């Protein structure tokens, strides 16, 4: 079985690395996160911390 030249391994590494980075970037930017509702924030701040021991 013939051995592969180092430049071949380097080109394979670069191709797979670029593919991996592009795939992750497409997955990250493909969907926008849902912005929280303003009424939901108001409900969070209005709750008081009354502990009943």
Kindly list the averaged pLDDT for each block of 10 residues, start to end, along the chain of length 53: 78 96 93 68 58 71
Residue 33: its pLDDT value, please?
A: 76
pLDDT computed for residue 44 by the predictor = 52
Q: Would you say the pTM of this structure is higher than 0.75?
A: no
CA distance 7 to 4: 8
Compute CA distances 41 → 10, 44, 47, whole Å.
51, 5, 10
Quick one: pLDDT at residue 5?
83
Supply the pLDDT for residue 18.
Answer: 98
C-alpha 32/C-alpha 35 separation (Å) is: 9
Note the Cα 11 to chain centre separation in Å: 26
């Amino acid at each position: 079985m013939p051995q592969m030249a180092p430049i071949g391994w380097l080109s394979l590494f670069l191709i797979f690395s670029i593919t991996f980075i592009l795939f992750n970037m497409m997955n990250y930017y493909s969907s926008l996160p849902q912005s929280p509702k303003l009424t939901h924030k108001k409900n969070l701040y209005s709750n008081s911390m009354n502990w009943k021991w």
